[in-house]
Amino acid sequence: MAGVRKNGRSAGRGRQRLSGLTLKSGVILAAKALAFAGLVFVTVFLALVIFLPLPKAPVPQATKVYDIRGRPISSLFVENRTVVPSSDIPDTLKKAVVAVEDMRFYSHHGFDLKAIGRAIVRNLKAGEILEGGSTISQQLSKNLFLTHERTIQRKLIELVYTLKLEMRYTKDEILTGYLNEIYWGHGAWGCEVASRAYFGKSVQDLNLAEAALLAGLIRSPEYYSPYHSMERALERRALTLALMKEQGYIDDEEEERANSEPVELAGLPESVAPYFVSYVVADIGTRHPEIAKNIYRGGYQVYTTLDLDMQKAAEEAFERYMPKGEKDSQGITQPQGALVAIEPATGYIKALIGGRDWDETQLNRAYQVKRQPGSAFKIFAYTAAVDLKHPVTETKVCEPVEYPGATAGDRYRPVDYGRNPYHHAPLTMRTAVAISDNVVATKWAQEVGPSTIASYAAKMGVKSRLEPTIPLALGASEVTPLEMTVAAATLSAGGIRPEPLMVLKLIDPSGVVIEENTVKRTPVLDEGTAYIVTSMLRSVFAPAGTASGLEAFLGDRPVAAKTGTTDDELEAWLVGYTKNLACSVYVGWDNREKSLPGTGAAVAGPVWAAFMGAAHRNIPVSDWTLPNNVTWAAVCSDTGLLAGPTCFRRHYEVFRKDALPPVDSTNHFRVPGWLRGILLPDFILPGIGKPEEEHENLGKAPMVYPVEAPVLSP
């Protein structure tokens, strides 16, 4: 039994020794496996460091848009950034950022083990991630090359890229890249844009207090922003300055002085001319689709024709004179509207509004929406009539008339606006234009032909499809405000149509000029025709004209225009021009749901007149020059013919020299024959062949109302 126990004890000890050997072997194997895994990791890591190339990291830059004088209008960006070189970044900002974000930046090689250890301890105590321990180099590699997902694989690649950054670039290059790349709040990316957003100055002009405040924002830009909380911003600035002093970047006196300096904010910029800028982007896209795809991150420079002063005047006129708004079912304020202003001599778009509020609706009504222009379209009918050598004194009777309708059996019967549908009297072109007579306009449409009117509209700048029917003369077809403005500019420019132009120069980020556009003008009308039509349109501002009173906004400046109102007052227009500027204003509900509170003159007119008055404030007064083929002549107010010897009721009117009416042979003065020669010796027709300077007031385009208004002397 004793032997058995001995053998049992021996067997037990053997099993224990075997178990110990097995455990020891397992530990050894595990250690070897761990060592092998570590070796593999280090090998793979080193291989990645050696062979994995740094990806290309284009830093998105904002495209800058400038006005005609080189003043900034807008920045187009995914990330609003302007990259600046290290030489433009003051040392105070660099030191402030290093002090508050990565105090051992200049001593580590991409990783700060102390910071990582401190972050781990703090996060464990808090039970959540409060601190990351990342260095400036790590943050730059992550922002440039990687996403912000939290995975082991992403962290490994970040370590690799960080080491490669440290191996390839100097500390100053890494810090400069970081300052140009990071987000500073309020849509500002990079230190240059941030400096301008907060202090209205270039980063190179920052002082110590401003640099410290910016550096303090990096941890949480929106939270520490002085626009949101000045108290938090100042506390953060004080912390940054304290760290700078602790690390030897500044002394006590500099810290105290910077802490006592008040913060003067520039104010967050408001959106300027957003409808114009959106049109510029679309315009560039038609010629350079590849640039349009990259324009919000490509860092281009776009020099445009917009005049910021005129744009401001347009926005102020819109704000002040647009009808009181109300929300529609889509939450968009109605009525909406548009304004387009073009320089006739160049085609430069100087101001453009496409709606009441860009934040509400980005639909650009200046060129994307077509609406009936009402009587504003009559300018094309009368341009055709004058160009076909019909004199301004030729009359049509305003009386009931009907034309074939759009469908078989229908009849179209035009009437005038207001309580009296007909004047029952002959009206000259000038009078019909001034009072916007509908019936007479349709008679002229029948005289010259709707297709002819459509052709004149097309060559004067209307690209929309037009229905060649009698109602076309009254604006039955839809057009855009831009098209009507081009037509007005054509008349102002003496019959030369300017191509609307927005982009003068487009430059890529490296300074290469991609395109540089020049003025394009096409003669489409006889200069005399344009002058005569302009003269008639000036009568719209006379006492009985549809725009009477609006000329007061422009003082003594010669101005021509045509009002337009559609049926049920759904749309209101005023299309007009001076020698220097053409402008169209449209107002109406997007869905045509409701009528407007008045006519074109009452609704669109004040917006147009207020803008034109302000836009011309610093422009010298100028008038249209009398063309060689046009003359002012005395006309018998009773017959409309050239005044004869006995025409005592007379006024001056303008004619093409090849379309003068005959001399009135009526004897308006009954005297004995023997006395006539004594009273009227060698009478000369006034106004014919006399120098223009003898009739300086003739340009004011006197009006004649054979119905009820008195004759106005020139």
Q: Which residue has the higher pLDDT, 354 or 78?
A: 354
Judge whether 319 counts as a catalytic residue: no
709: pLDDT strictly greater than 80: no
Question: In the prediction, which pLDDT does 119 show?
Answer: 54
- If asked whether residues 246 and 392 sit together in one domain, one would say no
Task: Please choose, from the candidates 445, 435, 431, 432, the residue with its C-alpha nearest in 3D space to the C-alpha of residue 476.
Answer: 445
Which of 457, 477, 497 lies at the terminal end of a domain, its last residue? Answer: 477
For 146-150, 182-186, 309-313, which range has the lowest pLDDT when averaged over its residues? 146-150
Model confidence band, residue 257 (pLDDT cutoffs 50, 70, 90) = very high
Task: Please choose, from the candidates 377, 573, 578, the residue with its C-alpha nearest in 3D space to the C-alpha of residue 492.
Answer: 578
Which of 217, 237, 260 lies at the terminal end of a domain, its last residue? Answer: 260
- If asked whether residues 120 and 248 sit together in one domain, one would say yes
CA distances for 226 relative to 235, 341, 639, angstroms? 10, 39, 77
Range with top average pLDDT, 271-275, 377-381, 549-553 = 377-381
Does 545 fall in a domain?
Answer: no
Question: In the prediction, which pLDDT does 15 show?
Answer: 55
Q: What is the pLDDT of residues 594-633, one digit of tens each?
A: 999 999 999 999 999 999 999 999 999 999 999 999 999 9
Does 152 fall in a domain?
Answer: yes
Q: What are residue 509's phi and psi, to 5 degrees?
A: -60, -25
Count Cα atoms within 13 angstroms, Cβ side, for 578.
24
Q: Write the CB contacts of 616 (distance below 8 Å, at least 6 apart in sequence).
A: 554, 557, 578, 580, 581
Question: In the prediction, which pLDDT does 670 show?
Answer: 60
Count of all residues that appear for the chain in the document: 714
584: pLDDT strictly greater than 60: yes
How is 584-640 classified by DSSP, letter by letter? EEEEE-TT--S--SS-HHHHHHHHHHHHHHHHTTTS----PPPPTTEEEEEEETTTS
| Strand arrangement, sheet containing 560-565 | 349-353, 336-342, 582-588, 571-577, 560-565
Question: In the prediction, which pLDDT does 226 show?
Answer: 92
Does 51 fall in a domain?
Answer: no
Active-site residue, from 134, 225, 375, 637? 375
Burial of 241 (0-12, 13-18, 19+ CB in 10 A): buried
Question: In the prediction, which pLDDT does 61 show?
Answer: 82
Model confidence band, residue 171 (pLDDT cutoffs 50, 70, 90) = confident
Read off the pLDDT of each residue in 477-482 and give the average, rounded to a whole number. Answer: 98
Question: 441 with 375: CB under 8 angstroms?
Answer: yes
Q: Which residue has the higher pLDDT, 256 or 689?
A: 256
Question: In the prediction, which pLDDT does 267 show?
Answer: 85
How is 442-463 classified by DSSP, letter by letter? HHHHHHH-HHHHHHHHHHTT--
- Domain that includes residue 420, residue range: 374-477
Model confidence band, residue 75 (pLDDT cutoffs 50, 70, 90) = confident
Question: 86 with 173: CB under 8 angstroms?
Answer: yes
- If asked whether residues 84 and 212 sit together in one domain, one would say yes
For 39-43, 209-213, 467-471, 669-673, which range has the lowest pLDDT when averaged over its residues? 39-43
Question: In the prediction, which pLDDT does 57 show?
Answer: 60
Domain containing 148 — which CATH number? 1.10.3810.10
422: pLDDT strictly greater than 60: yes
Residue 114 to residue 123: CA distance in whole angstroms: 14
Model confidence band, residue 541 (pLDDT cutoffs 50, 70, 90) = very high
Question: 241 with 258: CB under 8 angstroms?
Answer: yes
Question: In the prediction, which pLDDT does 107 show?
Answer: 79
Long-range contacts at 217-226 (CB < 8 A, ≥ 24 apart): 217/184, 217/185, 218/97, 218/100, 218/101, 218/182, 218/184, 219/100, 219/101, 221/183, 221/184, 221/185, 221/186, 222/185, 222/186, 224/185, 225/185, 225/186, 226/198, 226/263, 226/265
Residue 593 to residue 68: CA distance in whole angstroms: 39
Which of 424, 454, 477 lies at the terminal end of a domain, its last residue? Answer: 477
Residue 587 to residue 607: CA distance in whole angstroms: 10
Question: 224 with 231: CB under 8 angstroms?
Answer: no
**Left if phi > 0, otherwise alpha if psi is -120 to 50, otherwise beta: which for 291?**
alpha
- How far is Cα of residue 132 from the mean position of the Cα atoms in its chain? 43
Structure tokens of 534? 């302009």
Active-site residue, from 74, 75, 101, 535? 101
CA distances for 24 relative to 20, 37, 66, 290, angstroms? 6, 20, 77, 67
Q: Which residue has the higher pLDDT, 425 or 77?
A: 425
Task: Please choose, from the candidates 54, 100, 332, the residue with its C-alpha nearest in 3D space to the C-alpha of residue 218.
Answer: 100
Residue 199 to residue 206: CA distance in whole angstroms: 8
How is 190-224 classified by DSSP, letter by letter? SHHHHHHHHHSS-GGG--HHHHHHHHHHTTSHHHH
Task: Please choose, from the candidates 87, 84, 109, the residue with its C-alpha nearest in 3D space to the C-alpha of residue 171.
Answer: 109
Q: Is 368 helix (H, G, I), strand (E, B) or coil?
A: coil
Percent of the chain with pLDDT over 70: 78
Read off the pLDDT of each residue in 368-391 and give the average, rounded to a whole number. Answer: 97
Helix axes 208-217, 191-199, angle to 10 degrees: 110
- If asked whether residues 254 and 381 sit together in one domain, one would say no
Structure tokens of 87? 């030489």
Task: Please choose, from the candidates 563, 562, 569, the residue with its C-alpha nearest in 3D space to the C-alpha of residue 601.
Answer: 563
Rg of the chain on CA atoms, in Å? 39
Read off the pLDDT of each residue in 490-496 and give the average, rounded to a whole number. Answer: 98
520: pLDDT strictly greater than 80: yes
Q: Write the CB contacts of 142 (distance below 8 Å, at least 6 apart in sequence).
A: 134, 148, 158
Residue 635 to residue 686: CA distance in whole angstroms: 9
pTM of the prediction? 0.75
- If asked whether residues 386 and 237 sit together in one domain, one would say no
Read off the pLDDT of each residue in 526-538 and give the average, rounded to a whole number. Answer: 96
Q: What are residue 579's phi and psi, to 5 degrees?
A: -65, -25
Residue 134 to residue 143: CA distance in whole angstroms: 12
Question: 457 with 564: CB under 8 angstroms?
Answer: no
Read off the pLDDT of each residue in 358-373 and give the average, rounded to a whole number. Answer: 93
For 293-307, 489-503, 517-531, 677-691, which range has the lowest pLDDT when averaged over its residues? 677-691
Task: Please choose, from the candidates 338, 361, 362, the residue with its C-alpha nearest in 3D space to the C-alpha of residue 351.
Answer: 338
Domain containing 470 — which CATH number? 3.40.710.10
**SS3 per-residue string spanning 26-88:** HHHHHHHHHHHHHHHHHHHHHHHHHHCCCCCCCCCECEEEECCCCCEEEEECCCEECCCCHHH
For the chain, what is the domain count?
Answer: 3
- If asked whether residues 251 and 380 sit together in one domain, one would say no
| Beta partners for residue 497, in sequence order | 522
Q: How many CB atoms lie within 10 A of CB 512?
A: 8
Model confidence band, residue 99 (pLDDT cutoffs 50, 70, 90) = very high
Task: Please choose, from the candidates 514, 471, 398, 473, the residue with its C-alpha nearest in 3D space to the C-alpha of residue 63.
Answer: 514
- If asked whether residues 94 and 236 sit together in one domain, one would say yes
Q: Write the CB contacts of 406 (distance below 8 Å, at least 6 apart in sequence).
A: 412, 469
Does 569 fall in a domain?
Answer: no
Read off the pLDDT of each residue in 322-347 and give the average, rounded to a whole number. Answer: 95
E strands in 208-330: 301-304, 326-327
Q: Is 516 helix (H, G, I), strand (E, B) or coil?
A: strand
Does 136 fall in a domain?
Answer: yes
Question: In the prediction, which pLDDT does 397 show?
Answer: 94
Residue 215 to residue 230: CA distance in whole angstroms: 15
Judge whether 10 counts as a catalytic residue: no
Read off the pLDDT of each residue in 665-690 and give the average, rounded to a whole number. Answer: 50
Does 2 fall in a domain?
Answer: no
Question: In the prediction, which pLDDT does 290 show?
Answer: 83
187: pLDDT strictly greater than 90: no
Q: What is the pLDDT of residues 13-59, one digit of tens each?
A: 555 555 555 666 666 666 656 665 555 444 544 544 554 555 566 66
State the Cα angle at 141 between 135 and 145, rounded to 5°.
155
Does 599 fall in a domain?
Answer: no
682: pLDDT strictly greater than 50: no
| Beta partners for residue 650, in sequence order | 636
Percent of the chain with pLDDT over 90: 57
Does 268 fall in a domain?
Answer: no
What does the mean pLDDT of the chain come to? 83
Q: What is the pLDDT of residues 103-141, one digit of tens each?
A: 888 877 656 556 555 655 555 555 544 445 578 777 767
